[in-house]
Amino acid sequence: MNNSATMKINGCKVAIGNERNLLELIRKIGIDMPTFCYHSELSIYGACRLCLVEVVGKGIMAACSTKPEAGMEIYTDSKDLRMMRKINVELLLANHKRECPSCSRSSSCTLQDLARRLSVTEVRYKQPKKDAPLDFSSPSLVRDPNKCVLCGDCVRVCSEVQGIGAIDFAARGANARVVPAFDKDLNEVECVNCGQCAAVCPTGAITPHQQREEVWDALHDKSKTVVVSIAPAVRVALGEAFGIKAGENVAGKLVTALRLMGFEEVYDTSFTADMTIFEEATEFLERLEKKQSMPMFTSCCPGWVKFAEIYYPDMLPHLSSTRSPQQIFGSIARDTLPQKLNVDPKDLVVVSIMPCTAKKYEAQLPKFSRDGRPDIDYVLTTTEIAQMISSMGIRLEELPNSAFDMPYGFATGGGVIFGATGGVMEAALRFAKEKVENKPLTDIDFQDVRGTAPRKEAEVEVGDAKLRVAVVHGLGNARKLLDDIIAGRSQYDFVEVMACPGGCVCGGGQPIAHDSSDRLARAAGLYNADKMQQLQKPQDNHLVVECYKEYFGGHPGSHEAHEELHTRYQGRGQIFDAQEIVLGNPGKGKVNIVVTVHTRSFRSEHEEAVLAAIVDYIKKNDLRDRVVISAAFDPREASDKGVLVMIGSTTCEYNLTETDCEKVQGHAEFKRLLTVLDRELGVRA
Summarised one tens digit per residue, pLDDT across range 434-455 is 999 999 998 999 999 999 999 9
- The answer to which of 202-206, 335-339, 599-603, 656-660 has the lowest mean pLDDT is 599-603
Given a cut of 50, whether residue 683 has pLDDT beyond it is no
In whole angstroms, what is the distance from residue 411 CA to residue 229 CA? 12
Q: Is the peptide bond before 180 cis (omega within 30 degrees of 0)?
A: no
CATH 3.10.20.740 placement within the chain: 6-77
Task: Give the end-to-end CA distance of the chain in Å, rounded to a whole number.
Answer: 63
Query: Please, are residues 525 and 417 in contact by the beta-carbon 8 Å criterion?
Result: no
CATH 3.40.950.10 placement within the chain: 213-391+408-565
Write out the H or E segment, with its range, that includes residue 142: strand 141-143
pLDDT, position 46: 66
Query: Please, are residues 406 and 543 in contact by the beta-carbon 8 Å criterion?
Result: yes
**CA count, 13 A, side-chain hemisphere, 230:** 34
Structural class in CATH, domain 573-683: alpha beta
Task: State the CATH architecture for 213-391+408-565.
Answer: 3-Layer(aba) Sandwich (3.40)
Confidence of residue 660 (pLDDT cuts 50, 70, 90): confident
Query: Please, are residues 161 and 45 in contact by the beta-carbon 8 Å criterion?
Result: no
Domain boundaries 122-208, corresponding CATH code:
3.30.70.20
Mean pLDDT across 162-188? 86
Query: Please, are residues 106 and 241 in contact by the beta-carbon 8 Å criterion?
Result: no
pLDDT, position 341: 95
Q: Is 6-77 a domain of CATH 3.30.2130.10?
A: no
pLDDT, position 370: 86
Given a cut of 90, whether residue 429 has pLDDT beyond it is yes
CATH 3.30.70.20 placement within the chain: 122-208
Given a cut of 70, whether residue 603 has pLDDT beyond it is no
Write out the H or E segment, with its range, that includes residue 221: none
Residue in 359, 354, 378, 369 with CA at minimum distance from that of residue 216: 378
pLDDT, position 576: 55
